[in-house]
Structures are given as C-alpha cells and as structure tokens.
C-alpha cells in the first residue's frame, strides 16, 4: 500500500504487475498523453461542428464526409489510447488482475468489451490514486460516467451510421453524446497521466 502524505508518495511499492521493477514514465509518456488529449479534444470539436452543420446544411454528401472524418479520427484516437493505456498498465504501482496486453485486447473481444475495459480502467484509476494513511482515496472516480457516455455514443454512432447509409440524416443528439464522452475521456486521461507522472517523479 502507498499513500499521499501531503508532500509526496509514501509506502510506495516499485513493483509492476509483472513482478519486475517499474519502467519509469517520463517526457515521452507525457508527450503521448498530450497527443491523446489533443485527439480527444479534436473529437469534441468535430462532434460539435457536425451538430452545427446539421442545422444549416441538408446535403447527404456533407454528412458522409463528416462521418468518414469522424471514423478516421476515432481510429487514430483509438491507437493513441491503446498505446497510452498499455504504458499505464506496464508501469502501474499496484499488481493488476490482467496483464498489460490484456488491457488492450479487452477492447477487441466481442461482448466482453462491454465490461472488461471499464474494469481495467477502474483498476488503473485506483492504482494511481493517492491514498491517505487509512487507504482511502480522495478523488471522484470519473471512469464510470465516461464509460456510460462512451457506451451510449458507441451505440448511437452505430445507429447513426446505419441511418446515413440508408440515405437519411442522423439525429444531432448523437454528436452531442460523442462530444460529451470525449470530454469525460479527456478528463480521465489528463488526471491519470498527471498521477502517473507524479508517482514516477517521486520514485526518482
């Protein structure tokens, strides 16, 4: 167990989930976190832009172009997210239930990807959360609200794409749901990245 004593981490355990010494996180990880944050904000901007366009433009080709841009941006964001989460899992200060490669693989397992990713993210959240001497964390867990919005937006996005392929215009609430999910994801990434970098800076 390790906790925050008001000045730094105490009682820390420098052992990764593999049982080896923790690979330190430094400037390269910080750049990765910043890149992921910018990509998530780009998703927010594209989502809000799509909602605004829907109010003034009613041409199918415009919505198709926006859908392609959203899919490409989502794939790039997903790749950055996987790299970021893998690095977080490799250097986690607590032993995790699943190996780092399973943190990534969980996203691609049908049906199981409805709950395994949130379990993994919850574990990372608590692994890097500062605790007091009684083992209690002090921050509000943002993983659950983010995951709820992500599921809603993912289902809505699939329905919206189907609607678009049928030659109709999707409802604007889909863009709003995705934008909200991206905002919450940004908060999760920034919070966890800051904690991870702080923890490893204290180790050094």
Query: pLDDT class for 2, splitting at 50, 70, 90?
Result: very low
Higher pLDDT, 53 or 31: 31
Residue 155: pLDDT above 60? yes
Regarding predicted confidence, which is higher, 104 or 64?
A: 104
Residue 162 has a pLDDT of: 67
Is residue 142 very low, low, confident or very high in pLDDT (cuts 50, 70, 90)? confident
Residue 190: pLDDT band (50, 70, 90) is very high
This prediction has a pTM of: 0.81
pLDDT of residue 156: 75
Residue 124: pLDDT over 90 = yes
Residue 160 has, within 13 A of its CA and on its CB side, a CA count of 28
pLDDT value of residue 176: 80
pLDDT for res 9? 43
Decide: 63 and 174 in contact? Cβ < 8 Å.
no
Domain boundaries, the chain: 25-95+140-203
pLDDT value at 4 more than 60? no
pLDDT at 44: 93
Please tell me the distance from the alpha carbon of residue 166 to that of residue 178, in angstroms, as a whole number: 21
- The yes-or-no verdict on residue 61 having pLDDT over 90 is no
Q: What is the mean pLDDT of the chain?
A: 80
Alpha helices for 57-172 (secondary structure H): 60-90, 100-105, 116-127, 143-165
d(CA 200, CA 185): 22
pLDDT digit string, tens, across residues 10-47:
444 444 444 455 677 888 999 999 999 999 999 999 98
Angle between helices 173-203 and 143-165 (to 10 degrees): 140
- From the list 200, 185, 8, 203, the residue with the least C-alpha distance to 87 is 200
């Amino acid at each position: 167990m390790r906790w925050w004593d008001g000045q730094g981490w105490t009682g820390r355990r420098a052992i990764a989930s593999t049982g080896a010494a923790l690979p330190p996180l430094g400037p390269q990880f910080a750049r990765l976190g910043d890149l992921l944050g910018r990509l998530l904000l780009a998703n927010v901007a594209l989502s809000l832009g799509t909602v605004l366009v829907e109010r003034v433009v009613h041409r199918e080709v415009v919505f198709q172009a926006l859908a392609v841009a959203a899919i490409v941006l989502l794939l790039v964001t997903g790749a950055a997210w996987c790299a970021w989460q893998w690095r977080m899992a490799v250097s986690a200060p607590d032993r995790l239930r699943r190996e780092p490669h399973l943190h990534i693989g969980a996203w691609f397992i049908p049906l199981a990807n409805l709950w395994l990713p949130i379990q993994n993210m919850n574990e990372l959240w608590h692994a890097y959360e500062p605790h007091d001497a009684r083992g209690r964390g002090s921050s509000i867990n943002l993983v659950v609200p983010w995951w709820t919005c992500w599921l809603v937006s993912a289902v809505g996005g699939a329905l919206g794409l189907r609607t678009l392929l049928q030659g109709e215009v999707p409802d604007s609430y889909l863009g709003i749901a995705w934008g909200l999910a991206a905002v919450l994801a940004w908060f999760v990434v920034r919070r966890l990245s800051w904690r991870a970098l702080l923890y490893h800076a204290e180790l050094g």
